[in-house]
Amino acid sequence: FFKLKHDLLSKIIFSRKLMPKYYDTMLAEYIKNPGQRGLGLDALSEKKFNYKMISYSDITEKKKLSFEEVDLQKAAIYSGEDVYMTHKLYAEQMEDEYIKDSISTPEERNKKSSILYDIEIPLMQVLSDMEMTWIKIDRDILKGIWMRLEQAIKELEKEIHDLAGEPFNIKSPKQVGEILFERLWLPSAKKTKTWYSVNSEVLEWLKGQHPIAEKIVTYRHYSKLQSTYIEWLLEVASEHDRIHTSYNQTVTSTGRLSSNNPNLQNIPTWDDIAGEIRTAFIPEDPTDTLVAFDYSQVEVRLLAIMSGDTHLLEAFQQGRDIHQVTWEFIFWSKDISWTQRRFAKAVNFWVIYGISPFGLSKMIDVNQKEAKTYIDAFYENYPKVRDFFDATILNCKRNGYVETLFGRKRYIPSINDQNKMIQKGAEREAINMPIQWSSADIIKIAMIRIAKMLDEGNYESKMLLQVHDELVFNMKANEKQELCIKIPEIMEWILKDSPITLKVDKGEWKNWKQAK
């Protein structure tokens, strides 16, 4: 059965027109406790019912057997146990005040239950279709990047050995420590129980002390690109040069989707050779185009909407670059370089996360006093943001949770902890969660609506990837013009009654990097 071609399987089994109503106990549990680990059936059965289930590892003799090789009676007991415990968990969840309203009609549902039936469960189908579509790669491009990295690594190895005065294993932390701190006598920033620390933080600190440190950082970077990205992608690609990723809805503590086997959300976007990896992701057909739609400054826009701050809203309503606006009121200058814009962007972004002056000083490499003046200037220019954050923290202390625009809740019990450091960390979490999780819900809703539009219109173009605030499509030439109007409209009008609209940037080309 599972050997049917994936396109036929998609049409027959996963057709939205034929899909029966269904429920997912793991998703329901995730909605209730998004920060919790161990949401699998085995873990929940033990936690909720004190019942230890037969594990897959046990039934397959630590995976020595495939499931079809397992004794039929044992396989039947194992499978029946899964069915029984799933139903038992479902019955338990239906008695939960947070879940049970979700079986009512859409008109009767409150906001919290619609998260499950109107977002997470419909999204399962969308992700299933995306996973089965796959994305094409050009193996020759990946192999070419691998060769360039191999040459650069060999050159770096020679330069590092010359600077050290002797050959050594650059991949050995112990030998690197010996060279840096006992032969070259560089100051050691950290020491573990057994030896000198040579982690990335230490090497970054040593960059100004000796050129060998920067070359070791680059050597490690290139080696990681070779093994973690290029070799892995070549290994997991199918014989037809297609990459398949698995999306998970119940892993992150931020409400965002995660990707694994391989993790396509971590493919680098940088301008150096790392960014070249994305050039290997190509359209299905030479006449097709990869088109990427990316939400622009979505979290700052949500901060403006949720806080109601006049200055923030006006900046977006006037179509201004919010990072330049921030730069202008911090430094009283309209002239801004690319580097300075990135600096202002960091201030905007990290204040949303409730960062402290100490934390911001580390992020943008200034002293704490300077960092505090930037944070103070931000709140002075956007006064309602401070009011919004204070009100969010106060409500969380009273209710024990914070909530998104769509009614998704996050319980934060440590908000009233007696330990001030724990309490402050919880307050930063409370500040950020409504914004970050609302952003995550927005792109999920957009994916559901876009998938419905593509399905109902019988389009051949496909949604391939979701990477944070970005959606990537394989567009057919005869559909591209129309869909490049329809898709941004759907994405930008998720929040119909807001004082400002969301903004989507579009890029298109013959590979993923250039489409970005």
Is pLDDT at 6 greater than 50 in this prediction?
A: no
**How high does pLDDT run on average in the chain?**
85
Burial class (CB in 10 A: 0-12, 13-18, 19+), 491: buried
**Residues 440-484: pLDDT tens digits?**
999 999 999 999 999 999 999 999 999 989 999 999 999 999 999
Q: What is the DSSP string of 45-77?
A: HHHHH--PPPPHHHHTTTTTS-GGGS-HHHHHH
Mean pLDDT computed over 62-68:
86
Task: Provide the pLDDT for residue 68.
Answer: 87
Task: Provide the pLDDT for residue 10.
Answer: 45
Mean pLDDT computed over 337-349:
78
Q: Give 325 or 485, the one with higher predicted confidence.
A: 485
Is pLDDT at 13 greater than 70 in this prediction?
A: no
pLDDT-derived band at 98 (thresholds 50, 70, 90) equals low
Q: What is the DSSP letter of 136?
A: E
Inter-CA distances, 237 with 142, 240, 241, 351, 423, Å: 11, 8, 5, 40, 46
Is pLDDT at 11 greater than 50 in this prediction?
A: no
Is pLDDT at 109 greater than 70 in this prediction?
A: no
Mean pLDDT computed over 223-232:
91
pTM over 0.75: yes
In angstroms, rounded to a whole number, what is the distance separating the alpha carbons of residues 240 and 355?
A: 47
Is pLDDT at 505 greater than 90 in this prediction?
A: yes
**Residues 382-414: pLDDT tens digits?**
999 999 999 999 999 999 999 888 888 888 889
Task: Provide the pLDDT for residue 104.
Answer: 46
Is pLDDT at 306 greater than 90 in this prediction?
A: yes
Task: Provide the pLDDT for residue 207.
Answer: 81
Q: What is the DSSP letter of 21?
A: P
**Residues 423-434: pLDDT tens digits?**
998 998 899 899
Nearest to 447 by CA among 471, 474, 468: 471
Of 93-102, 303-312, 345-354, 441-450, the least confident: 93-102
pLDDT-derived band at 190 (thresholds 50, 70, 90) equals low
Percent of the chain predicted with pLDDT > 90? 45
Mean pLDDT computed over 250-266:
86
Give first-to-last CA distance, the chain, whole Å: 38
Q: What is the DSSP string of 271-312?
A: SSGGGGGGGGEE-SSTT-EEEEEEESSHHHHHHHHHH--HHH
In angstroms, rounded to a whole number, what is the distance separating the alpha carbons of residues 238 and 243?
A: 7
Instruction: Compute the chain's Rg from CA coordinates.
Output: 26
Q: What is the DSSP letter of 416?
A: G
Task: Provide the pLDDT for residue 21.
Answer: 66
Is pLDDT at 181 greater than 60 in this prediction?
A: yes
**Residues 269-301: pLDDT tens digits?**
777 788 888 899 999 999 999 999 999 999 999
